[in-house]
Amino acid sequence: MQQAPLDIPGSVPTSYPGANFPLPAIPVDLQFDTLLDPGTYVDGPFDPAWFDLDPDIYYANQNNSCGFIPNAHIVDEVDRNDFKHGSETATGTPMSISALVSFAGTGTGSSSLWPPEDQIKTSAIITDEREHEMAYLIRHFTEFLGPWMDLFDKDKHFSQSVPLKALRDALLRNAIAAVAAKQLGRVRGQKSFCGNQCQRPSRMEVLDDLVEVDWFYKAANYYDKAIAFSRVYLEALSGSLSHPMSVNKSDDLLVAVSIFSLYESLDNREMGWLQHLAGLKSLLTAVSANQQEIGPPMPSISVARKACFWHFARSDYSAAYINRRRTYLDTEDLDSWRSCGLQVQDNGALYADTIDVRSETSQCRQRVQLVSHTLIWLVLRVTNYLAQDSNHPPAEQLVIWDTLNAQLDAFYGSLPETFQPCAQIRYPLSTRNHRGGDSGCQLTEVFFSSSSSASSVQLYHFARILLLLNKPRDRSGISRLQAYREVSSEAIKHAREIVGVALGRPAPAVRVEMLLPLYIAGGCLEGEEERKVVLEIMQAIEKDTGCSTEVTVRTLLNEWGDATPVLSTEDGIGATVSATNSNKRRKSTGAPMSTARTLPLLICSVGNPGSTYANTLHSAGHTVVSRLAEHLGYTGLRKEREWGNGLVARPAINGGAGDWTLWQSTSYMNDSGKGVRAAYTAWAKHIPVGEEGKLVVLHDELEKPLGAVTVRTAPGASAKGHNGIKSIMSVIGGTPLARIGIGIGRPASRERDEVAHYVLKKMTPAEKAKIEGCVEEVVAKLRQLEKG
């Protein structure tokens, strides 16, 4: 979970694509806008580059959503409803607008954009399938993902209002479909139903079981379309279009970017997620200024904008803690927070009337929202306290600490009855069941009737632990050992409260929100059984929700050191834990490896799957691995589910000489990492204790002579814009990686269209012979790598 801080650049004046003038400065004098911390917000024009949406930047960095090459759109399925003539969003399509306008304007069937008359029946079938898929995804978002975003929102804007807005708005429709498809991909298409029901699922709840859907590819399609539509909104917001953006459209843009941040957070909580958060922070200010200019002052913040703001606030404290920086939102501007619904007073009191908050029952949902939002503000303040300059005098730090501690006391003392658990039982640990004792464990399963209440209770104990572990030293004469014991005891109590809520298996919205509190709680717990419980909960969260927990687990394991519990190695986290323990056992033996023994190698290739991309230059790595299997005498590559559904050839099966295992990805380029990680996990199980192995990746390399072979082994070496390599580097952590690049030459022109056509074209016989002819040199490089 802990990662090196990432520098997010500030907004700077820029020219918007397609315009020959700089963006006009946008005023930031609205009360709400001052929420943005002056230390992190640079006053100036709104910059769409926060989102990497300028195509000249987006594609020049080889960063289109599906991991292909510059300007190679992967959206080949277009919903005609997205391009209604005269609609505001029509210009956002990757397709030719002129062709669409010509077709719509003439009323003839001469255009080749849509199928001719003799294909009407086929087109109707295709349209029905697409509508079915969109209905399936929108329903999945409404029932499963929308509640994640609405966790503390009494109006349930994302799950109830946004799907209705998507009926008229292509940006929202594609954003919803993108995040729903990606989440389905991460849970392997498994969609849970609520209990056993006599009535069969409706047609829109299921898809054809006989068709294996590549949800990651679907997600990339919808995401690419949504990004294209959002560019049009951004142009309107920046004043590049003749008609200013309406309030509804600006709200829709905020909602879409909020959904984009959820899309990235599922498995990319590094740069992609932070980039969208930084953009959303900038956009919140730009939208309010736009709304101020186009009409009379609004009496209050719109429901949509307030929902986006509070969703952003939840992400803000998490991102700030992970990266050890201050929050984007300015927690000290009380007037602005009051405009967003809080009642915090100038004297530090949290509510206008504490008794009313604690005892009022007629407006239960309103009170739960107020209390939950107040806690988010407190957590943001605690996070900023941790990120403050260490040069502050201890006395000043202690004053801030005492203030925060008193506010948390006041918060807990004024909690309404809704924040009490409605059921709880003692959790049976295995040590108690089999030995008759409790080994000092005091875990309890706790269940709340309100998801907001359950999550708020966890956040409260999370904030308490952070304060306890970061209390300034006073001069009262208390011994350091005594102070440590007191802090440790209190922190463990709060940690067990966090775990207790998690053991109650609350709604998925609560479970995805609890990863950071669980990480902190796990770091405080000392018993092996309790730590094992934390790991099991994290493992279940990833399996059930699709939210990646691998980085969190790896960091937790490193902090525990030699006291790591052992879990099942069926998949996922269990394999990570097992591998970590195995490495520790190897180090503890003290027996040096024989210098005469060569290292086992896992040799992976990345490319694009299917016959469409077979033997293209972009899949040169696959071509070399297939030829390498023949060269080594292996009988062929075969698909194995345990190995990330990749194609595998290894000596134990094929009888080839040497200790090399070949693996060929069956995923699209930008999704290579997950398959490589699964293959590496499966492969590591076969390495004898006391030995180490090495991961080698074969990939195409543009700008290198055709058939040329290059090797990179330096830790942290740049991916050089290769999305397959970036995907792998994002998931393997500190695993040593060697890269062998296969040169594919370069086109005559560096124009983007020419480059796209070049790398996706089929190899000529001469080019294929040249690529395959480098196998001898690849073998020589592998011989060097296996020597360590």
Query: d(Cα 523, Cα 491) in Å, to the nearest integer?
Result: 10
Over range 530-543, report the average pLDDT. 93
The pLDDT score that the predictor gives to residue 7 is 36
Lowest mean pLDDT, pick from 10-19, 460-469, 519-528, 638-647: 10-19
**Coil, strand or helix at 688:** coil
The pLDDT score that the predictor gives to residue 81 is 52
Distances from the Cα of 190 to the Cαs of 329, 573, 619, 678, in angstroms? Answer: 37, 19, 30, 19
| Cα dihedral 179/180/185/190 (nearest 10) | 160
Helix, strand, coil fractions of the chain, as percent rounded to 5: 55, 5, 40
For residue 424, pLDDT beyond 50: yes
Structure tokens at 342: 């809080």
Per-residue pLDDT band at 144 (split at 50, 70, 90):
very high
Query: d(Cα 603, Cα 628) in Å, to the nearest integer?
Result: 10
> Would you say the C-alpha torsion 507, 513, 514, 519 has a positive or negative sign?
positive
Over range 103-127, report the average pLDDT. 50
The pLDDT score that the predictor gives to residue 548 is 86
For residue 20, pLDDT beyond 70: no
Query: d(Cα 506, Cα 508) in Å, to the nearest integer?
Result: 7
Name the residue with higher pLDDT: 495 or 649.
495
Task: Name the H helices within 664-733.
Answer: 672-684, 723-731
Per-residue pLDDT band at 486 (split at 50, 70, 90):
confident
Query: d(Cα 487, Cα 494) in Å, to the nearest integer?
Result: 11
Query: d(Cα 302, Cα 308) in Å, to the nearest integer?
Result: 10
Name the residue with higher pLDDT: 652 or 777.
777
Per-residue pLDDT band at 272 (split at 50, 70, 90):
low
For residue 259, pLDDT beyond 60: yes
**Coil, strand or helix at 663:** strand
| Beta carbons within 8 Å of 401's beta carbon, 6+ residues apart | 385, 467, 470, 471, 472
Query: d(Cα 186, Cα 543) in Å, to the nearest integer?
Result: 8
The pLDDT score that the predictor gives to residue 86 is 40
Map tokens 């904030």 to a residue.
Answer: 463
Over range 22-45, report the average pLDDT. 37
| Residues acting as catalytic residues | 618
Structure tokens at 779: 């073998």
Task: Count CB atoms within 10 A of the CB of residue 426.
Answer: 12
Map tokens 């510059």 to a residue.
Answer: 70
Structure tokens at 754: 């020419």
Category of 733 on φ-ψ map: left (φ > 0), alpha (ψ -120 to 50) or beta:
left
Query: d(Cα 443, Cα 722) in Å, to the nearest integer?
Result: 47
Name the residue with higher pLDDT: 12 or 35.
35
For residue 308, pLDDT beyond 70: yes
Over range 681-701, report the average pLDDT. 82
The pLDDT score that the predictor gives to residue 171 is 94
Per-residue pLDDT band at 159 (split at 50, 70, 90):
very high
The pLDDT score that the predictor gives to residue 120 is 56
Per-residue pLDDT band at 287 (split at 50, 70, 90):
low
Query: d(Cα 532, Cα 427) in Å, to the nearest integer?
Result: 13
Structure tokens at 341: 């619904």
The pLDDT score that the predictor gives to residue 468 is 93
For residue 469, pLDDT beyond 80: yes
For residue 450, pLDDT beyond 50: yes
User: What would the DSSP string read from start to end of 213-247?
Assistant: --HHHHHHHHHHHHHHHHHHHHHHHTT-SSSPPPH
Name the residue with higher pLDDT: 372 or 269.
372
> Could you give phi then psi for residue 587, rounded to 5 degrees?
-70, -30
Query: d(Cα 33, Cα 143) in Å, to the nearest integer?
Result: 32
For residue 93, pLDDT beyond 50: no
Domains and CATH numbers, the chain: 1-70+138-192+199-316 (no CATH), 334-588 (no CATH), 601-785 (3.40.50.1470)
Decide if 223 contacts 263 (C-beta within 8 A). Answer: yes
Query: Exposed (0-12), middle (13-18) or buried (19+): which is 585, by Cβ within 10 Å?
Result: exposed
Angle at CA of residue 400, ends 398 and 404, nearest 5°: 115
User: What would the DSSP string read from start to end of 145-190?
Assistant: IHHHHTTT-TT-IIIIIHHHHTTT-HHHHHHHHHHHHHHHHHTTT-
Alpha carbon 294 to chain centroid distance? 35
Map tokens 């509508």 to a residue.
Answer: 131
Measured in residues, the chain has a length of 788
| Beta carbons within 8 Å of 765's beta carbon, 6+ residues apart | none
The pLDDT score that the predictor gives to residue 39 is 44
The pLDDT score that the predictor gives to residue 269 is 57
Alpha carbon 533 to chain centroid distance? 24
Rounded to a whole number, what is the largest CA-CA distance in the chain? 91
Alpha carbon 656 to chain centroid distance? 40
Name the residue with higher pLDDT: 33 or 360.
360
Task: Write the pLDDT tens digit of every residue in 177-206.
Answer: 999 999 998 888 887 654 456 787 788 888
The pLDDT score that the predictor gives to residue 787 is 81
**Coil, strand or helix at 644:** coil
Residues of the chain with pLDDT > 70, as a percent, come to: 67
For residue 126, pLDDT beyond 80: no
The pLDDT score that the predictor gives to residue 734 is 73
Alpha carbon 457 to chain centroid distance? 25
For residue 481, pLDDT beyond 80: no
> Could you give phi then psi for residue 37, rounded to 5 degrees?
-60, 125
Rg (CA), the chain: 28
Whole-number average pLDDT of the chain: 75
Distances from the Cα of 51 to the Cαs of 8, 204, 275, 741, in angstroms? Answer: 12, 33, 7, 30
Name the residue with higher pLDDT: 145 or 609.
145
Which residue, 306, 283, 459, is CA-closest to 381?
Answer: 459
Q: Are strands 660-664 and 601-605 parallel, antiparallel or unpaired?
A: parallel
Over range 654-659, report the average pLDDT. 47
Task: Write the pLDDT tens digit of every residue in 312-359.
Answer: 999 999 989 988 889 989 999 898 899 889 999 999 999 998 888 888
Query: d(Cα 68, Cα 776) in Å, to the nearest integer?
Result: 28
What pTM value is reported for the model? 0.64
Task: Name the H helices within 504-563.
Answer: 508-513, 515-524, 528-545, 550-560
The pLDDT score that the predictor gives to residue 125 is 64
Task: Write the pLDDT tens digit of every residue in 767-776.
Answer: 999 999 999 9
Name the residue with higher pLDDT: 276 or 10.
276
Angle at CA of residue 717, ends 711 and 720, nearest 5°: 85
Paired residues of 696 in beta bridges = 603, 738
Per-residue pLDDT band at 121 (split at 50, 70, 90):
low
The pLDDT score that the predictor gives to residue 501 is 97
Over range 72-81, report the average pLDDT. 45
Over range 195-222, report the average pLDDT. 78
The pLDDT score that the predictor gives to residue 644 is 85
Over range 239-266, report the average pLDDT. 78
Distances from the Cα of 668 to the Cαs of 186, 323, 397, 554, 609, in angstroms? Answer: 15, 30, 51, 26, 6
> Would you say the C-alpha torsion 462, 8, 225, 238 has a positive or negative sign?
positive
**Coil, strand or helix at 13:** coil
**Coil, strand or helix at 472:** coil
Query: d(Cα 174, Cα 189) in Å, to the nearest integer?
Result: 19
